[in-house]
Each structure stands twice: as structure tokens, then as C-alpha cells.
């Protein structure tokens, strides 16, 4: 505890970077599991030593705060002055609005692991069905070749994209692992994941689909 001091009166909340890091892989990891646990809380918890020990599962105060410091230095958590609650409206009602804000083109879709879309914005129904099916095939392809991509090539990302001649993404596919479920976020054009609505999306999916952290 000599090296660290806690700023009291704040409430801990994942950043967009922390949210994406926690759900981009199904692998267990001590740091990522803490972020996943935060997404199972109805309200942002207070920034206290007891809370840190509970989230990390580390009883030693110094080691627990060291873990917290690591998360902060990684840019995965932030301190809020006021607590916020997870959105309580039905997921089906909020998904189209949340998805709209994540794509500059206004075209976005969220599909499940079976290739069916849960919600879409900007795509006609027929195109949404086909894109959702394609997203499942790409995610399966990635999982079949995970050894080559991650180990041999050193590529840590699980996202895929269809790119134009200039190398920019025309449409991208981001697998999201929530509990035992896999979703794919599909965004046409420039993605906007570094924003509060992305964190809200992951929080809502976690509350509904993640029983316990992986």
C-alpha cells in the first residue's frame, strides 16, 4: 500500500478500450476477468479497497491495488464522479439506436453465433440476413485458424474486414465474446467504437447473456 493511494468518492467504469479488450477473446485472463465482472454489476461500484479486493479476488491489499494500477495504466478503467446504471429498457428496443452511433455510415448490425441478426440499422432485411450469415462463417473461420493467426503470425485481433483498393475497410466484422455466447458486430464504413455507447452495448449484452465470467 506504500506505493499507491486511492482517490475516494469515484465510481469505477470500463473505458471503450477496456470493454473491447474484455470481449474480443473468450480466453480467461486475470485482468480481463475483472472488467467482465464490472459488467455484471447493475450500477458502477464505488472505488474502494474492499471493492477492489472483491473484483480482483486478491485479498492482499497491495497486490490488489497493483492490479488496479495495471488496469488504469492500460487505459481499461476510468473513475466517474457520479454512479451510472445499466440501461434498463429491453435490449431489442435499444440495440438499433446503439448500433447507429457505432458506424459513420449509419449501417450496423449485431448477429449471433448461428448467423441470425438481433438488430440492424441501415441494411435492408435481405442484406442483413446474408451479412449475418457471413459474419458467423468468418468468425468460425477465425476460430479454426486461431493457432496460425495468433501464434505463428502474432495477430492478436479477431476482427475481419473487406477492404477497398486503398486499403480502408468497406465493412468490418468484430466478434464479441460475452459469457459463453459469441456475437459479431458488423459495421460498414468507418467504425466508432471509442465512445460511451459501445461500453453501454457491452454492458447490456453482459447483463443479459453472461452468467459468470469465463
Indicate if 122 and 168 belong to the same structural domain.
yes
Instruction: Based on the fold, state whether residues 56 and 124 are members of the same structural domain.
Output: no
pLDDT-above-90 percentage for the chain:
57
132 and 169 inside one domain? yes
Grid coordinates of 170:
468497406
The verdict on 115 and 139 lying in the same domain is yes
Q: Are residues 135 and 103 in the same domain?
A: yes
Residue-wise pLDDT tens digits, 25-40: 888 888 898 899 999 9
Q: Count of domains in the chain?
A: 2
Show which of 57, 80, 103 is a domain's final residue.
Answer: 80
The whole domain housing 130 covers 91-192
Same domain, 76 and 44: yes
Give the tens place of pLDDT for each residue, 75-97: 999 999 999 999 988 988 999 99
Domain boundary among 54, 80, 106: 80
Same domain, 95 and 188: yes
Per-residue pLDDT of the chain (214 residues; tens, 9 = 90+): 445 566 777 899 999 999 999 999 888 888 898 899 999 999 998 888 887 888 777 888 888 888 888 898 999 999 999 999 999 889 889 999 999 999 999 999 999 999 999 999 999 999 999 999 999 999 998 888 777 766 666 666 778 889 888 878 899 999 999 999 999 999 999 999 999 999 999 999 999 998 644 4
Q: What is the CATH number of the domain that holds 173?
A: 3.30.450.30
Amino acid at each position: 500500500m506504500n506505493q499507491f493511494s486511492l482517490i475516494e468518492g469515484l465510481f469505477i467504469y470500463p473505458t471503450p478500450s477496456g470493454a473491447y479488450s474484455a470481449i474480443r477473446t473468450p480466453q480467461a485472463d486475470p485482468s480481463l476477468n475483472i472488467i467482465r465482472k464490472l459488467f455484471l454489476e447493475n450500477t458502477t461500484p464505488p472505488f474502494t479497497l474492499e471493492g477492489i479486493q472483491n473484483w480482483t479476488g486478491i485479498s492482499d491489499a497491495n497486490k490488489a491495488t497493483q492490479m488496479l494500477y495495471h488496469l488504469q495504466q492500460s487505459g481499461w478503467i476510468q473513475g466517474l464522479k457520479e454512479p451510472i446504471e445499466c440501461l434498463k429498457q429491453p435490449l431489442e428496443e435499444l440495440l438499433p439506436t446503439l448500433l447507429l452511433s457505432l458506424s459513420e455510415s449509419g449501417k450496423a448490425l449485431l448477429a449471433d453465433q448461428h448467423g441470425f441478426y438481433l438488430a440492424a440499422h441501415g441494411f435492408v432485411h435481405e442484406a442483413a440476413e446474408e451479412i449475418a450469415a457471413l459474419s458467423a462463417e468468418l468468425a468460425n473461420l477465425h476460430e479454426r485458424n486461431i493457432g496460425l493467426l495468433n501464434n505463428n503470425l502474432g495477430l492478436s485481433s479477431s476482427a475481419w474486414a473487406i477492404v477497398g483498393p486503398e486499403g480502408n475497410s468497406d465493412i468490418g466484422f468484430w466478434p464479441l465474446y460475452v459469457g459463453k455466447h459469441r456475437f459479431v458486430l458488423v459495421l460498414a464504413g468507418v467504425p466508432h467504437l471509442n465512445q460511451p455507447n459501445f461500453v453501454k452495448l457491452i454492458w447490456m449484452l453482459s447483463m443479459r447473456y453472461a452468467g459468470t465470467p469465463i
